[in-house]
Amino acid sequence: MIKPHGADVLLPRLVTDVDKRRELLAEARELPSLLLNSAAAANAVMLGGGYFTPLTGFMNLADSLSVAKNMQTTDGLFWPVPVMNLAVDVSSIEGAARIALRDPNVEGNPLMAIMDVAAVEDVAEDQLDTMTEQVYGTQDRDHPGVAVFRSLGNYCISGPVQVLNLSYFATDFGDTFKTAVEIREEIARRGWETVVAFQTRNPMHRAHEELCRLAKERLNADGIVIHMLLGKLKAGDIPAAVRDACIRKMVDEYFPENTVMVCGYGFDMLYAGPREALLHALFRQNMGATHLIVGRDHAGVGDYYGPFDAQAIFDELPQGGLEIRIFAADHTAYSKKLKRVVMMREAENHTPEDYVILSGTKFRQILEQGIAPPPEFARPEVAEILMAHYRSAAQKSKD
């Protein structure tokens, strides 16, 4: 199986030993507390589950700036996006060497982790500007990822963590949420060696389905891991529970048994385009995938990135930066001529009229009106789940 990034074995920060957990939980009651923001909480979940191997905790300012500028930490580890614990106010932990980190996304703000505080640093506006520009490629506050990042605060709290709680992901998505440790174990149990990962924050339409099938066939892969984001999205995106139901229905109906794993991870979407594509590849290597499908406008939003920037950035990787490889995909669509889904760059003698293509906006409009999308675009079983979601949402808005 492919090695984890920067380590021989996964290094999850989740404390699973019962006695150690009991000891840490008792200690936390006496420690100063910091209420995390959702972005930092998501980083803690990824650290806990081993997805961010070999990191042991949150980056300091020097590492964060180095990662933003050079895609490596100050000691040379390849990393594409800073993993930070930023805060607006640190008065509650002033002078503390060890603190309790609390969950902002669960009622009552339960304990999430214990952190050894290596440093609490002021982050200047020009340093935030640098990180924003380098990671997101823009300073535009209308970019949803930029808007979130610039709201997190000017204090950087760094240091190793011991994670005790994987937030709402483990409870709300019990059948879907999996740590990198659990996915590696399942891949090993199935005897898969060549494994294709598919990233999604949306329900999978027929084009996505065929892309997974094409990648598996062309790479002679043993299996596919459809790995969906379960964390926070921008307004208007379809909720995780609905996406989960759609994807599971598609897999059950249209893929052979034991060729696909459906699971999810607890992270908030960054919409950082090329840089986020690299992060997606890194933590898929940690979970055991040998290949990641990177398609048109991967992890993008609006018109901030070129359609294939997220593929081109992999050419900039330093030697040995990542072992995982990408399956570079073109835009896919249903060909009326060939009566199947194709990658458009491979379809000869086609005009735009030869394809069935719906924009995301048009697709949502159709569903909101209660109209079934064309079967060439969405499987009818999947479309029905989506239509029910939009009918319910429309009814709630009326009430």
Active site residues: 201-202
**Residue bearing tokens 């840490």:** 24
Q: Which of 100, 98, 286, 87 is nearest to 195 (CA)?
A: 286
Residue found under tokens 């699971």: 263
Strand partners, 250: none
Q: Tell which residue, 227, 217, 207, 199, has the closest CA to residue 256.
A: 217
3-state secondary structure of 274: helix
- What are the phi and psi torsion angles at 276 (to 5°)? -70, -30
Q: What's the distance, CA 354 to chain centroid?
A: 34
Asked if residue 355 lies in contact with residue 319, where contact means CB atoms within 8 angstroms, the answer is no
What is the C-alpha to C-alpha distance for residues 202 and 337, in angstroms, rounded to an integer? 27
Task: Specify which residues 197 forms β-bridges with.
Answer: 225, 292
Please report, as a single letter, which amino acid is at residue 29.
Answer: R
Distance between CA 219 and CA 286 in Å, rounded?
A: 19
